[in-house]
Amino acid sequence: MKTELKAKFLQHLLGKKKDDQGFTLIELLVVIIIIGILSAIALPSFLNQAKKAKQTEAKTYVGSMNRGQQAYMTENDTFTSSIDAMGIGIATQTANYTYTAEAGTGAGTAAYGVNYSSIVTTGSGLKNYGGNVYLKPVGPNSELTSIAYLCETTNVEASGKDAVGTTGTTCTGTGKLIK
């Protein structure tokens, strides 16, 4: 009788294992719901990374244009409206932005000159950026030094040029200062 009991017990265990393999429908639904919640949280953040990467291109290019204007001013005592003349080797148009430079004096700083480096986006809801280089007297002899800064538009409709102030390191109401 003992061996018969053992045999039935083994059959019960072997038969039970075959029936209990896999996941139940409820377990699968719980996993799918958890994955759905996590993707709903992570997806918007993930999609914004591509936009941030494209905007980084603009920050880098306008920063390069600002440094190019500073170097050009040091060598030529004037600002330039030609990106090629700056000698920085950047394209004036990319897939995401169009880059321009303007040499000017700016309001209230006619003696020193102000340069605007502005970009206008080619679409896709990207923010625009504008850079400014201006001359500022420093020290007891009022020697001139060049100051550069970068502004980011607060909305996608504003142009980079509109974000930059005409005097000092200030951005207009449509721009914020990038440190």
pLDDT digits (tens, 9 = 90+) for 100-156: 888 765 432 322 334 456 666 666 778 888 888 888 888 888 888 888 888 888 877
Which of 18-27, 80-89, 95-104 is modeled with the greatest confidence?
A: 80-89
Do 73 and 161 lie in one domain? The reply is yes
* 46 part of a folded domain: no
The whole-number pLDDT of residue 107 equals: 33
pLDDT in tens, 49-85: 888 888 898 889 988 988 998 898 889 888 888 889 9
**Residue 108 sits in which domain range?**
56-178
Do 118 and 162 lie in one domain? The reply is yes
- Measured CA to CA, the distance from residue 160 to residue 153 in angstroms comes to 6
Q: How many domains, the chain?
A: 2
Do 156 and 70 lie in one domain? The reply is yes
* 62 part of a folded domain: yes
CB atoms within 10 A of CB 87: 12
The whole-number pLDDT of residue 109 equals: 31
Do 69 and 115 lie in one domain? The reply is yes
* 159 part of a folded domain: yes
Do 23 and 83 lie in one domain? The reply is no
Six token digits for residue 7 = 């045999």
Do 157 and 87 lie in one domain? The reply is yes
Do 29 and 71 lie in one domain? The reply is no
- Of 83, 78, 86, the closest CA to residue 105 belongs to 78
Do 110 and 169 lie in one domain? The reply is yes
For 17-21, 29-33, 63-67, which range has the lowest pLDDT when averaged over its residues? 17-21
The whole-number pLDDT of residue 108 equals: 27
Do 72 and 37 lie in one domain? The reply is no
Between 123 and 170, where is the model more confident? Answer: 170
CB-based contact 51:126 (threshold 8 Å): yes
* 47 part of a folded domain: no
Do 77 and 25 lie in one domain? The reply is no
Between 151 and 164, where is the model more confident? Answer: 151
Average pLDDT estimate for 4-32: 77
The whole-number pLDDT of residue 48 equals: 85
CB-based contact 164:120 (threshold 8 Å): no
Average pLDDT estimate for 22-49: 91
Q: Is the predicted pLDDT of residue 39 greater than 80, yes or no?
A: yes
The whole-number pLDDT of residue 152 equals: 86
Helices (H), the chain: 2-19, 25-76, 83-86, 160-163
